[in-house]
Amino acid sequence: MRVPHGIDSKAFSAAVRELEGIVGQQWVFTSEEDLYLYRDAYSPFWGEPEERLASAAVSPESVEQVQAILRIANAHKIPIYPISTGRNLGYGGAAPVYSGSVVLDLKRMNRILEIDEQAASCLVEPGVSYFDLYRHIRANKLKLWIDCPDPGWGSLVGNALDHGNGYTMNPFRDHFGAHCGMEVVLANGDLVRTGMGALPGAKTWQQSRYGFGPDVDGIFSQGNSGVVTKMGFWLMAEPEAYLAGTVMVSRHADLVPLMKAFSVLNNTNAMMATTRIGSPLQLGRVFGVPPEPEHAALLDKPGVTPDELEAYGRKNDLPYWTIDLKFYGGTEVVEAQWTYAMRVFKSAIPDVQFTKGDRLTFPLTDAQAEAVQDKASLGIPSLGAFFVGARSPNKPVGSHGHFWLSPILPLSAEAVLEAQKVFAGAFREWGVAPLYRALPQLYSPRAFYLLFGFEVSEDPAVNHKTRETVRRMIKLAAEHGWGEYRTAPAFMDDVMNVYSYNNHALRGLHERIKDALDPNGILAAGRCGIWPKHLRNGRS
């Protein structure tokens, strides 16, 4: 049996027996075979000594069992790493940040506790996936939409706590921002309900956000001071119609007025869905459609100028930049929004071009829902995104997994052009190439995520080089004022280290809260670079 670092193996055996007493023997996992499932399948340390591994896993079915498990962990000073459901691929999987922790696997707590059609809200446990909630809504013919990230098997609670994002309208696509109310088991086993939930018999736990007094919910997001056992969310009422369109400009310099016009729409809430800047000309098609040979040669030419690319674009009818727009609402409203958006772009860039995309009305039949290409924009969960990355028959690149790095940029042409230049220059200098050429994506309402993907290899030497590249990128981005919003466990200390204002004052604040709420330091040690007192000297 594996044993957590610094714990006596006899004491650990005793603790495991206590855990079995709480959840039943079949829900405590200690064999190598069982624990294989808690490895990070996409670990950038796969097979190396630094790979983070669980010493055991325990899967409770109730809040009371979670409380009892934490009390046992405190008594024995056993490190615990809570996970919800889904795969968390690219962000560490189910493996603990601090190797040797016991994984607290909440997958069995998978009840949809409340769903209110008129209020458009729900209360769920951590084991509820996007698929679960979507199927429940379809089966009961509720006029509600969910907002989901790329893989539909993820947990609503887990994704929101990790500051994950989706693709429909604000505020729903900011999954933490669209939550309303929590139930949390603190590290010492105390049970707390936040917001309006602190009022016994509350009628607006999932409707009114702040309750009374300080709003504590945020400290449990990307945090390690409590285990969230229930979480409320605002859902979107099913809109009458959906309309998509694409805006296209032909010149490199058009990005400046394009982004200015887009910002007006974005900042008046006229365009509220996730979008991205595309550049069929400069970046080539992403995800597996390779450019024509002449185009590819041009893209590979050292020092190729925007003029040369523009000329190729004119000849081949390829826009330099594109933005996808999506509208939701009444049938006449989505048409008016598209008309208005075209007017705004036209007045900024007279020769701008447009393509009108999908126009749908709801509800969709099951067959229609199945046939939708861009499912995420309609809140339909799928596993479609897995055509990128590992072990998929249609994968465009050979890989044993991937992970992401997303420096956050201002929503401006200047920022996008500067970042492209900075990273392209660095990649040339370092002799590396990420999984694909990054496009700025508007996951957050007011900032771009510049998404880079990296492959995991079977060869530790390759993984070593990739890790070095990512660490250099984190520092390079920070030098330009761009930080990451989330990262894989391998890089959590690196990212937290660049958030260093005033001698790491914010980390110091996190540590003071951590010490107050988890004095034995049992919960999710090292998560987001926050370590308990007894492990703080060891942090990088």
Q: Whose CA is closest to 71, among 58, 83, 84? A: 58
Q: Of the residues 71, 359, 485, 539, which is catalytic?
A: 485
Element (H, E) at 10: helix 9-23
488 binds its own copies (CB under 8 A): no
Contacts to its own copies from residues 240-269, by CB under 8 A: 240, 259-260, 263-264, 266-269
196 binds its own copies (CB under 8 A): yes
Q: Is 320 a catalytic residue?
A: no
Mask for 117-156, x = binds its own copies (CB under 8 A): -xxxx---------------------x-------------
Contacts to its own copies from residues 498-527, by CB under 8 A: 498-502, 505-510, 512-513, 515-517
DSSP string, 92-110: TTTS-SSTTPEEEE-TT--
Q: Which stretch binds its own copies (CB under 8 A): 1-9, 229-237, 279-287, 463-471?
A: 229-237
Q: Of the residues 38, 42, 81, 91, which is catalytic?
A: 91
User: How far apart are CB 481 and its own copies at their closest, in Å?
Assistant: 4
Cβ proximity to its own copies: between 239 and 401 the closer is: 239
User: How far apart are CB 515 and its own copies at their closest, in Å?
Assistant: 7
Q: For the chain, first and last CA: distance in Å?
A: 29
Tell me if 150 sits within 8 A of 376, measured CB to CB: yes
Q: Whose CA is closest to 324, among 243, 204, 421, 430? A: 243
Residue selected from 207, 246, 353, 441 as contacting its own copies according to rule CB under 8 A: 207
User: How far apart are CB 519 and its own copies at their closest, in Å?
Assistant: 10
Contacts to its own copies from residues 94-123, by CB under 8 A: 118-121
Residue selected from 487, 489, 520, 525 as contacting its own copies according to rule CB under 8 A: 487
164 binds its own copies (CB under 8 A): no
CB contact set of 369 (below 8 Å; sequence gap of 6+): 138, 375, 378, 380
Element (H, E) at 115: strand 112-116
Tell me if 324 sits within 8 A of 440, measured CB to CB: no
Residue selected from 54, 219, 227, 244 as contacting its own copies according to rule CB under 8 A: 219
Tell me if 83 sits within 8 A of 159, measured CB to CB: no
Q: Of the residues 52, 173, 193, 486, which is catalytic?
A: 486
Residue selected from 186, 298, 372, 397 as contacting its own copies according to rule CB under 8 A: 186
To the nearest 10°, the Cα dihedral for 242, 248, 252, 254? Answer: -80
Q: Is 486 a catalytic residue?
A: yes
What are the counts of helices (DSSP H) followed by strands (DSSP E) for the chain?
Answer: 14, 20
167 binds its own copies (CB under 8 A): no
Cβ proximity to its own copies: between 11 and 333 the closer is: 333
Q: Count of residues binding its own copies (CB under 8 A)? A: 118
CA atoms within a 13 Å half-sphere pointing along the CA-CB vector of 261: 23
193 binds its own copies (CB under 8 A): yes
Cβ proximity to its own copies: between 12 and 234 the closer is: 234
Task: Give the Cβ contact number of residue 118 at 10 Å.
Answer: 7
Cβ proximity to its own copies: between 291 and 445 the closer is: 445
Q: Would you state the structure tokens that stand for residue 331, as one six-digit string?
A: 């049938």
532 binds its own copies (CB under 8 A): no
Distances (CA, A) of 42 to 16, 288, 403: 28, 21, 7
Residue selected from 6, 24, 218, 288 as contacting its own copies according to rule CB under 8 A: 218
485 binds its own copies (CB under 8 A): yes
Contacts to its own copies from residues 421-450, by CB under 8 A: 444-447
User: How far apart are CB 496 and its own copies at their closest, in Å?
Assistant: 6
Cβ proximity to its own copies: between 262 and 436 the closer is: 262
Mask for 20-59, x = binds its own copies (CB under 8 A): ----------------------------------------
Q: Is 312 a catalytic residue?
A: no
171 binds its own copies (CB under 8 A): yes
Q: Would you state the structure tokens that stand for residue 515, as one six-digit string?
A: 């010490």
Residue selected from 59, 65, 101, 170 as contacting its own copies according to rule CB under 8 A: 170
Mask for 311-350, x = binds its own copies (CB under 8 A): -----------------xxxxxx-xxx-xxx-xx------
Instruction: State the residue for tokens 């595309």.
Output: 278
The whole-angstrom separation of Cα 146 and Cα 25 is 36
Burial class (CB within 10 angstroms; exposed 0-12, middle 13-18, buried 19+) of 260: middle
Length of the chain: 540
Burial class (CB within 10 angstroms; exposed 0-12, middle 13-18, buried 19+) of 9: exposed
Cβ proximity to its own copies: between 42 and 338 the closer is: 338
Task: Give the Cβ contact number of residue 425 at 10 Å.
Answer: 11
364 binds its own copies (CB under 8 A): no
The whole-angstrom separation of Cα 341 and Cα 346 is 8
Residues annotated as part of the active site: 91, 485-486
